[in-house]
A and B are shown apart, each in its own frame.
Chain A
Amino acid sequence: MAERKSERLMNLIFLLLSTRQFLTKEQVRAAIDDYRASSDDAFNRMFERDKGELRDLGIPLEIGSFDPLHEDMQGYRIPRDAAELPDLELTAEESAVIGLAAQVWEHAGLAGQSGDALIKLKAAGVAIDTSAVPLAQPRITAGEPAFDAVWDAVRAHQPIRFPYGRTGEDPVQRHLQPWGVLSWRGRWYVGGHDVDRGEPRLFRVSRIRGDVTPAGPADSYTVPPDTSVRDLAASFTVNDPVGEAVLHVRRDRALPLRRHALSVTELDDDLDEVVVGYRSTWELASTAASFAPHVLVVSPPEARAMAVDVLRASVEANA
């Protein structure tokens, strides 16, 4: 069955590609075995479905009149210029880079699509030797169950709804007009207009705990111009420091803290005074506690008091 359909589609594409004239529906029917052998109704249904398949394959179908005197006689053809891959004039190095890019996705669907693109280039005579350029090989994974549905919705500009929540919480239905997806630290996020809250929001795709369903037709909203998911993410992930904290840090310890230090002053053979910017008292206190006993919060006093509380609570819980 699948083979017959594939054969029919290929014949349809070859027929409409090789004609300069618009071919009427009846002419198309006469040229394709399956269509000819079908009843009128079956042919009409089959032809509509096949036109949809061409659209899914990304092959443009032009509808026009083959006879200027009989405008009601509509016909079909595939415009060669728009349908065919133009010559990219790639250098050997550029071809190699595209070959490497086709290996980046570790996700069945997207790896398949980048592979399909590569095959088209090879069919156009592009030789691909990935050893021509030594590059680091990024790998993009997308194991989140909801990823495919979210990716499709973003590309189709389709509003979606989904149950959302962390492990251990009851999921809540959310409505979103997705603007884009973002991979950050190996995790996927989807950003867009949160319909329930009436403002831009970022959702972690792994926290979508069930089916993603359409909440409206495709192309039913517009993404604000100059929207970058990267900026959207930055606005949610980076807070400006609220103040400066003074820490006592043992020499060669707490390297991640030292890396972001505003200043480091030697106090004695073994101790430095390190000044850092901090975003919240809790974050500062718990980070300092995580380096215990090598980091002490000297000021501000509320962070110092909280660091002491955090340590006491750890002793109590683990004693």
Chain B
Amino acid sequence: MRPSARDVQRRLALVPYLQSKQGVSVDEVAREFGVKPRVIRKDVEQLMMTGVGSLGGEMIDIDLFAFEDDDRIYISNADFMTRPMRINAGEASALIVALRALRDATSGEHVEVVDSALSKLQTAVGGQSPESVAVVLEAVDQSILTTVRQGLGAGRRLEIVYTTPSRDAITTRQVDPIATFVREGHEYLDAWCHRAGGQRFFRLDRIERAEVLDVPVENRAVAPRTAGDGFFAAGDGGLRVELAVAPGARWVVEHYDAEILDDTGETWIVSLVASDEAWARRLALRSGGAVRVLAPDSARAQVTEHARSALAAYDGLTPATEEL
């Protein structure tokens, strides 16, 4: 929507809003409408220039003393518009899709609340239902989700069994839950991890088991963090690796958002941030030679070492054609 259209939208909403909150301060309106106070001041000044026009002869009236001296807004001559305009199709789509995503990330009693909010909103916008938009979140075991929520709600410590696929490792950890959030289609738990001695993100679909302990969470000055781009879940670090990628494995570039260092030849040289060396090793092993690890050397050495060790094991394996 163009900026001028957004101004009109906001000013139209201000008319009923201000009438229901006579004497409201400019700062409070700015907070509610999510704009700077000077934007609201400009809006109010313009509202005074509008009304039902010269046919009616009536313009919206603002108490100028209160407005200019006390930053408070009293509005009159605006009873031709006491309700806001209907939520339009575009706004409804944006909000309904968001509500559906919220519903997918919700469990237990709150599902009903989201459902009733959705249904009331859909009724109010005239049944416009954006069936053409779907947001799919990764499926999370509902019992794990419920347990994590219980710990969070009751302020209790959790014991979780957590897998780190890149290292193919499984650990049992005691964590003090702080918040849950959803990012890039995955739901995460933000928690203080007693094993790591620090705040960590845990992907809920990687929690194998969870149990609420009879231990209250420790009071610690931790704030829920907003996961920015390029963050890693618990057990993941951040290691820059350089790869030589043959044509058959170019999907790697797009899939992991790798930086292309050299694409002049058939084989591209790319760089990306991996969680650890094990991740790079597994990528190279699965590619069947189409991905060669250039750096770090230790990760490349791991590839050959693990592959040779597996080949030796295949040599010692009973042939597949025989009955085991």
Contacts and interface: CB of A to CB of B under 8 A. Distances in A.
Contact of B7 (A6, A100, A180, A233): A6
B133 to A, nearest CB: 5
A119 B10 contact: yes
Q: Interface residues of A toward B: which range?
A: 35 or more
B168 A255 contact: yes
Interface string A207-224: 100000000000000010
Contact of B117 (A90, A123, A168, A285): A90
Nearest to A291: B168
A61 interface: no
Interface stretch (A40-48, A67-75, A78-86): A78-86
Contacts of A139: 181-183
B105 interface: yes
A137 B289 contact: no
A14 to B, nearest CB: 5
Q: Say whether chain B's binding surface is mostly helix, strand, loop, or mixed.
A: helix
A136 B180 contact: yes
A229 B130 CA distance: 11
Q: Name, among A15, A114, A118, A182, the residue most crowded by chain B CB atoms within 10 Å (CB to CB).
A: A114
Given A133-B113, A180-B132, A31 B54 contact: yes
Contact of B309 (A18, A135, A227, A293): A293
B264 interface: no
B90 interface: yes
A31 B53 contact: yes
B194 to A, nearest CB: 22
A65 interface: no
Contacts of B56: 18
A138 B182 contact: yes
A242 interface: no
Interface residues of B, number: 124
B87 A117 contact: yes
A180 B131 contact: yes
A98 B121 contact: yes
A122 B13 contact: yes
Interface in A14-47: 14-15, 17-18, 27, 30-33
B84 A138 contact: no
A82 B135 contact: no
Contacts of A171: none
A246 B290 CA distance: 26
A186 B84 contact: no
Nearest to B49: A7
Contact of A53 (B5, B53, B186, B247): B5
Given A122-B17, A289-B307, A292-B306, A11 B50 contact: yes
B16 A182 contact: no
A15 B11 CA distance: 15
B238 interface: no
13 contacts: A58-B87, A88-B120, A112-B1, A122-B13, A135-B106, A155-B93, A180-B134, A184-B136, A255-B170, A289-B310, A291-B285, A299-B320, A314-B289
Interface of B: 1, 3-17, 20, 32-34, 46-47, 49-56, 80-81, 83-95, 97-99, 101-102, 104-106, 110, 113-114, 116-117, 120-121, 123-124, 130-138, 152-153, 163, 165, 168, 170, 179-187, 208, 247, 250-251, 253-254, 260, 263, 268, 282-293, 300, 303-304, 306-314, 317-318, 320-321, 324
Pairs A-B, 5 closest by C-beta atoms: A58-B88, A186-B184, A313-B289, A138-B182, A292-B310
